[in-house]
């Protein structure tokens, strides 16, 4: 089990001898990192062989034999190279639909701008030195602005109803609004679960365990099929909003568990000290306990955000046009039907960029927390 | 006398009176419970009204009716003429079979990748890290659709890929050699399980005896007898046949062998690879959580490396690993419901079809919830039991 050592090995006898020249340094690096022992060398050789083969066939498919641009809907050349080369031409052909769905074509600068506002908002909220109370106002303002852009209807913008929204903005809306409303809900439920009042505690436990015990899909089915049954006559809530409510409830339950972990990490003395100062329940939690609790759980919170962002793709199953649904729909077009792999790779890259940025950020925070 | 008598009622009054905090607490509880009950009652009355308007009768009577829904991929006998109840049971079995096999495979793959990530071999650890990063940062549903599209793009049955003799990969799925299971075979399997349980109990006793008198006792002769000898005897006595049937191509399809339908296979691959990325991270951090000094101390005692890993490092790592692993198993089980996106008929997919056919939305979704809550509870109970078993026993 030489594989389990994670600390650098003791210097091997050859290391000091070769360290003088650049070539020697490369040799030392290879010797320590790839060919340190016989099993390690065998693994390296095997991996290099497999990797080279895989990489060459991928490059052949994805680059050398690939077609990047084609005149609209004449996919003959792409069909000819099916299986041998990728047909990336499907991306420039369909990207507007994949990114923005059926939003009126000449108005698509609006969802594009909304997406930009979202990204700026995430960036601003990620900076530690901008974490203060005003950030809540910034969020409220930005979300209102996004609503204004997407719906329109005033300031000379034409009205676009939400069943024409689609693509990336819908994914971002579901994720962001889900978190923005799920977070306060999660805080309340986490506090309720640790409360001394038995009735409140049991309601919170029931809510969290019920939501976490069932798959998200069944919640979405509930939102799309059962929700109308539970409403009085004449109340007809839009499908996107229903899914949004399901997401808020879902996020609330998962975030509550993360926040509860943070609450448990706050020492008992902090409660006692706050009580001794005569602070009320809400002041004690709002000013003393929660700020410390949330600071403890920022990395797992970001991980929950990532999971949540990915989970929004499940709305495909109830037919809401998020990024994954528009991607899947874009290849229904018979001319492009057989190039779904290319489209999935493109959309996968978009998801990857968002999630990777978040996971890098989470690791950075963890490193900072460790060094403090 | 005259002083002590008036004190009694006062003390009594003190005991009944509530502090201000308790009063506010009580009021809060009454308000919250009141709101919750009112909301549920309101939703329920709306539902009853809507159902009566739509002429949908509530209750589970529909389970006895004929389902009329075809299910392609089943492990238990089923035809569209069977009842909805039967269809639901088929769905539960389908969910369990993808979840159980997925959990086993994901654990194995994830552990290997987690260890690979800690390897001193730069290339191996880098590749493991890339694997984890890519799979974790792309939605599972997208990966599932991707695998499914790849399956569909495989050659037709006639031109199936044949990596080794008897294994075919085509757009009909993965076809493997199989052993036909008859009653005699089942008895042999039961004998093997019984033998293993007996062996486990015996081993515990032997170790306990060894603890008392310090004499070494060998387990392997018993292992040979109980785990191999006993089932072999049963097999001979009942005349069970263990011939392997190889699938072969006849016309447009395969005959014989075990078929993993493309839907099932795509779902299994997606679940296993996706979950293995998370398990790899859990295993890695679990092993890293064991202090380096434990390795050093064990080596200083002159213990073998494999012994150190088995008896010293892994038991300590497991304590860190088990709780997050439990939630990954639960996630995998819940994620298996994405089957509906590729048309593998698990419980959610069957409940959804039922819902569309009968309109029994509340009952169908209640059944989904019941099934998943039961499975979740089962996994949690098992993992809690296991966790308690390996927990640190302090003096």
pLDDT-derived band at B268 (thresholds 50, 70, 90) equals very high
Partner A, chain B 263-292, Cβ-Cβ below 8 Å: 287-288, 292
**Of the residues A38, A64, A90, the one at which a domain ends:** A64
Evaluated on CA atoms A255, A258, A264, A266, the torsion sign reads negative
Q: Could A3 and B292 be called an inter-chain contact, meaning their C-beta atoms sit closer than 8 Å?
A: no
Residue B79 lies in a domain: no
B99 exposure class (CB count in 10 Å sphere: 0-12, 13-18, 19+): buried
For B44-67, what is each residue's pLDDT tens digit? 888 888 777 777 777 777 777 777
Mark whether A268 and A172 lie in a shared domain: yes
A139 exposure class (CB count in 10 Å sphere: 0-12, 13-18, 19+): middle
Mark whether B249 and B319 lie in a shared domain: yes
Q: Could A48 and B149 be called an inter-chain contact, meaning their C-beta atoms sit closer than 8 Å?
A: no
| pTM (2 d.p.) | 0.83
Mark whether B307 and B171 lie in a shared domain: yes
Mark whether B21 and B152 lie in a shared domain: no
Neighbouring CB atoms inside 10 A of A37's CB total: 12
Mark whether B154 and B284 lie in a shared domain: yes
> How many domains does chain B contain in total?
2
Q: Please name the residue of chain A whose CA is at the shortest distance from the CA of residue B378.
A: A213
Residue A82 lies in a domain: no
pLDDT-derived band at B279 (thresholds 50, 70, 90) equals very high
Mark whether A42 and A125 lie in a shared domain: no
Cα B322 from chain centre: 14
CA distance A28 to A15: 6
pLDDT at residue A11 in the model: 52
DSSP letters along B109-138, please?
Answer: HHHHHHHHHT-S-HHHHHHHHHHHHHHHTS
Mark whether B41 and B131 lie in a shared domain: no
Mark whether B120 and B249 lie in a shared domain: yes
**Nearest beta carbon to residue A44 from set B123, B141, B348:** B123
Q: Does residue A154 sit at the B interface (CB-CB below 8 Å)?
A: no
Token pair listed for A264 = 């448990």
Chain A hits for B18, Cβ within 8 Å: none
Residue A72 lies in a domain: no
Residue B335 lies in a domain: yes
Mark whether A113 and A243 lie in a shared domain: yes
CA–CA distance from A294 to each of A137, A248, A297, B243 (Å)? 20, 19, 5, 61
Helix (H, G, I), strand (E, B) or coil at B172: coil
Query: DSSP letter at B236?
Result: H
Which of A4, A45, A249, A341 to mutate to probe the B interface, most B CBs <10 Å?
A4
CA distance B294 to B305: 12
Q: Domain limits at A336? A: 106-371
Mark whether A180 and A237 lie in a shared domain: yes
pLDDT-derived band at B275 (thresholds 50, 70, 90) equals very high
Mark whether B125 and B271 lie in a shared domain: yes
Mark whether A45 and A129 lie in a shared domain: no
Token pair listed for B162 = 């044949």
**Nearest beta carbon to residue A47 from set B127, B133, B142:** B127
Mark whether A111 and A34 lie in a shared domain: no
Q: Does residue A5 sit at the B interface (CB-CB below 8 Å)?
A: yes
| Helical (H) or strand (E) element with A44 | helix A38-59
Counts for chain A of helices (H) and strands (E), in that order: 17, 0
Mark whether A244 and A302 lie in a shared domain: yes
pLDDT at residue B234 in the model: 84
Q: Could B376 and A200 be called an inter-chain contact, meaning their C-beta atoms sit closer than 8 Å?
A: no
Partner B, chain A 167-206, Cβ-Cβ below 8 Å: 196-200, 203
Residues of chain A with pLDDT under 70: 1-20, 72-73, 75, 83, 372
Which of A230, A330, A339 to mutate to probe the B interface, most B CBs <10 Å?
A230
pLDDT at residue B166 in the model: 73
Helix (H, G, I), strand (E, B) or coil at B237: helix
Helix (H, G, I), strand (E, B) or coil at B67: coil
Residue B60 lies in a domain: no
**Nearest beta carbon to residue A213 from set B50, B348, B376:** B376
Q: Domain limits at B123? A: 84-178+244-390
Q: Does residue B37 sit at the A interface (CB-CB below 8 Å)?
A: no
Partner A, chain B 66-95, Cβ-Cβ below 8 Å: none
Contact B345, B91 (CB under 8 A): yes
ipTM: 0.85
For B314-345, what is each residue's pLDDT tens digit? 888 888 888 888 889 989 999 999 988 888 88
Residue B142 lies in a domain: yes
Q: Given a cut of 60, is residue B395 above it in pLDDT?
A: no
**Nearest beta carbon to residue A4 from set B115, B340, B361:** B115
Average confidence score pLDDT of chain B: 82
Query: DSSP letter at B170?
Result: E
Helix (H, G, I), strand (E, B) or coil at A256: helix
**Of the residues A64, A83, A117, the one at which a domain ends:** A64
pLDDT at residue A91 in the model: 76
Residue B255 lies in a domain: yes
Q: Does residue B334 sit at the A interface (CB-CB below 8 Å)?
A: yes
**Nearest beta carbon to residue A214 from set B143, B292, B372:** B372
Interface A–B counts its CB contacts (< 8 A) at: 175
Q: Could A214 and B309 be called an inter-chain contact, meaning their C-beta atoms sit closer than 8 Å?
A: no
DSSP letters along A268-312, please?
Answer: HHHHHHHHHTT--HHHIIIIIIHHHHHHHTHHHHHHHHHHHHHHG
Mark whether B257 and B332 lie in a shared domain: yes
Residue A101 lies in a domain: no
Radius of gyration of chain B (CA): 29
Cα A57 from chain centre: 30
Q: Could A359 and B119 be called an inter-chain contact, meaning their C-beta atoms sit closer than 8 Å?
A: no
pLDDT-derived band at B254 (thresholds 50, 70, 90) equals confident
CA distance A170 to A99: 10
Cα B328 from chain centre: 9
Residue A75 lies in a domain: no
Residue B233 lies in a domain: no
Residue A85 lies in a domain: no
Q: Given a cut of 60, is residue B8 above it in pLDDT?
A: no
Residue B231 lies in a domain: no
Residue A176 lies in a domain: yes
DSSP letters along A190-215, please?
Answer: HHHHT-S-HHHHHHHHHHHHHHHHS-
We report the CATH number of the domain holding residue B132 as 1.10.3720.10
Q: Please name the residue of chain B whose CA is at the shortest distance from the CA of residue A40.
A: B121
pLDDT at residue B375 in the model: 87
Please name the residues in contact with A25: beta carbons below 8 A apart, sequence gap of 6 or more: A18, A19
Query: DSSP letter at A3?
Result: G
Which of A203, A218, A246, A347 to mutate to probe the B interface, most B CBs <10 Å?
A218
Backbone angles phi, psi at B260, to 5 degrees: -100, 110
Q: Does residue B305 sit at the A interface (CB-CB below 8 Å)?
A: yes
Which residue has better confidence, A307 or B386?
A307
Backbone angles phi, psi at B248, to 5 degrees: -135, 155
Q: Please name the residue of chain A whose CA is at the shortest distance from the CA of residue B307.
A: A1
Residue A165 lies in a domain: yes
Contact B166, B176 (CB under 8 A): yes
Q: Could B142 and A324 be called an inter-chain contact, meaning their C-beta atoms sit closer than 8 Å?
A: yes
CA distance A167 to A324: 7
Residue A204 lies in a domain: yes
DSSP letters along A305-329, please?
Answer: HHHHHHHGGGGGGGT--BHHHHHHH
Contact A207, A193 (CB under 8 A): no
For B160-174, what is each residue's pLDDT tens digit? 777 777 778 877 778
Mark whether A39 and A152 lie in a shared domain: no
Chain A hits for B340, Cβ within 8 Å: 217, 317
Radius of gyration of chain A (CA): 26
Contact B150, A341 (CB under 8 A): yes
Mark whether B266 and B170 lie in a shared domain: yes
For A320-336, what is each residue's pLDDT tens digit? 888 888 888 888 877 77
Closest to A190 (Cα-Cα) out of A176, A169, A205, A209: A205
Q: Could A348 and B141 be called an inter-chain contact, meaning their C-beta atoms sit closer than 8 Å?
A: no
- In B148-293, where do the E strands start and end? 168-170, 173-176, 248-250, 253-255, 258-260
Contact B145, A344 (CB under 8 A): yes
Mark whether B131 and B275 lie in a shared domain: yes
Q: Given a cut of 60, is residue B151 above it in pLDDT?
A: yes
Q: Given a cut of 80, is residue B183 above it in pLDDT?
A: no
Mark whether B40 and B151 lie in a shared domain: no
Output the CA torsion B171→B173→B178→B181 (10° steps). -120
Residue B239 lies in a domain: no
Q: Please name the residue of chain A whose CA is at the shortest distance from the CA of residue B120.
A: A3
**Of the residues A64, A96, A116, the one at which a domain ends:** A64
For A29-87, what is each residue's pLDDT tens digit? 787 777 777 777 888 888 889 989 888 888 887 777 777 777 766 767 777 777 677 77
> How many domains does chain A contain in total?
2
We report the CATH number of the domain holding residue A244 as 1.10.3720.10
Q: Could A33 and B138 be called an inter-chain contact, meaning their C-beta atoms sit closer than 8 Å?
A: no
């Amino acid at each position: 089990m030489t594989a389990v050592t994670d600390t650098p090995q003791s210097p091997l006898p050859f290391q000091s001898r070769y360290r003088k020249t650049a070539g020697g340094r490369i040799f030392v690096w290879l010797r320590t990192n790839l060919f340190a022992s016989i099993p390690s060398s065998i693994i390296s050789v095997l991996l290099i062989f497999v990797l080279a083969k895989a990489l060459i066939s991928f490059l052949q498919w994805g680059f050398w034999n690939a077609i990047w641009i084609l005149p609209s809907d004449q996919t003959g050349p792409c069909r000819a190279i099916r299986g041998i080369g990728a047909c990336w031409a499907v991306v420039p052909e369909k990207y507007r639909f994949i990114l923005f769905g059926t939003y009126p074509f000449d108005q698509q600068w609006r969802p594009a701008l909304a997406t930009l506002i979202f990204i700026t908002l995430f960036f601003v909220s990620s900076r530690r030195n901008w974490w203060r109370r005003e950030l809540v106002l910034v969020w409220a303002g930005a979300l209102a602005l996004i609503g204004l852009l997407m719906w329109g209807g005033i300031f000379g913008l034409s009205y676009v109803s939400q069943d024409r929204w689609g693509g990336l903005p819908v994914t971002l809306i579901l994720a962001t609004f889900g978190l923005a409303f799920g977070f306060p809900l999660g805080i309340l439920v986490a506090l309720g679960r640790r409360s001394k009042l038995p009735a409140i505690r049991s309601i919170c436990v029931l809510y969290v365990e019920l939501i976490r015990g069932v798959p998200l899909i069944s919640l979405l089915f509930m939102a799309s099929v059962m929700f109308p049954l539970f409403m009085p006559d004449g109340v007809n809530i839009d499908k996107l909003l229903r899914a949004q409510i399901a997401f808020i409830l879902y996020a609330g339950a998962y975030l509550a568990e993360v926040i509860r972990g943070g609450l448990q990490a706050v020492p008992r003395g902090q409660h006692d000290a706050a009580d001794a100062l005569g602070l009320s329940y809400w002041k004690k939690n709002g000013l003393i306990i929660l700020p410390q609790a949330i600071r403890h759980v920022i990395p797992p919170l970001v991980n929950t955000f990532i999971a949540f962002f990915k989970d929004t793709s499940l709305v495909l199953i109830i037919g809401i046009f998020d990024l994954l649904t528009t991607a899947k729909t874009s290849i229904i077009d018979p001319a492009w039907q057989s190039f779904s792999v290319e489209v999935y790779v493109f959309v996968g890259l978009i998801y990857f960029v968002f999630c990777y940025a978040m996971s890098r950020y989470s690791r950075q925070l963890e490193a900072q927390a460790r060094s403090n | 006398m005259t002083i002590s008598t008036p004190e009694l009622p006062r003390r009594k009054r003190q005991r009944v009176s509530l502090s201000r905090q308790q009063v506010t607490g009580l009021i809060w509880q009454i308000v919250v419970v009141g709101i919750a009950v009112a909301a549920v009652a309101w939703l329920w009355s709306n539902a009853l009204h809507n159902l009566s308007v739509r002429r949908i009768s509530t209750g589970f009577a529909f389970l006895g009716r004929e389902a009329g829904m075809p299910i392609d991929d089943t492990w238990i006998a089923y035809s569209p003429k069977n009842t909805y109840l039967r269809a639901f049971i088929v769905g539960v079995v389908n969910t369990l079979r993808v979840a159980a096999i997925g959990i086993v495979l994901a654990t194995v793959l994830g552990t290997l990748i987690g260890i690979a990530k800690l390897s001193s071999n730069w290339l191996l650890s880098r590749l493991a890290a890339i694997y984890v990063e890519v799979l974790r940062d792309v939605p599972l549903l997208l990966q599932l659709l991707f695998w499914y599209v790849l399956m569909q793009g495989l050659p037709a049955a006639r031109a199936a890929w044949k990596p080794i003799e008897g294994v075919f990969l085509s757009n009909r799925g993965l076809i493997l050699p199989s052993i036909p299971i008859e009653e005699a075979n089942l008895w042999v399997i039961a004998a093997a399980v019984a033998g293993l349980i007996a062996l486990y109990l015996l081993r515990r006793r032997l170790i306990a005896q060894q603890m008392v008198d310090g004499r070494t006792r060998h387990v392997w002769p018993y292992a040979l007898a109980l785990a191999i000898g006993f089932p072999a005897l049963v097999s001979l006595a009942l005349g069970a046949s263990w011939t392997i049937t190889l699938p072969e191509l006849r016309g447009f399809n395969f005959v014989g062998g075990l078929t993993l339908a493309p839907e099932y296979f795509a779902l299994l691959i997606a679940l296993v690879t996706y979950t293995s990325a998370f398990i790899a991270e859990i295993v890695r951090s679990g092993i890293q959580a064991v202090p380096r000094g434990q390795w050093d101390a064990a080596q200083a005692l002159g213990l073998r490396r494999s012994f150190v890993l088995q008896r010293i490092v892994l038991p300590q790592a497991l304590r860190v690993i088990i709780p997050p692993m439990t939630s990954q198993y639960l996630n995998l089980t819940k994620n298996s419901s994405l089957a509906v996106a590729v048309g593998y008929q698990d419980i959610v997919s069957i409940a959804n079809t039922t819902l569309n056919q009968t309109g029994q939305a509340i009952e169908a979704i209640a059944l989904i919830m019941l099934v998943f809550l039961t499975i979740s509870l089962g996994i949690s109970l098992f993992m809690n039991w296991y966790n308690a078993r390996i927990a640190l026993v302090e003096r």
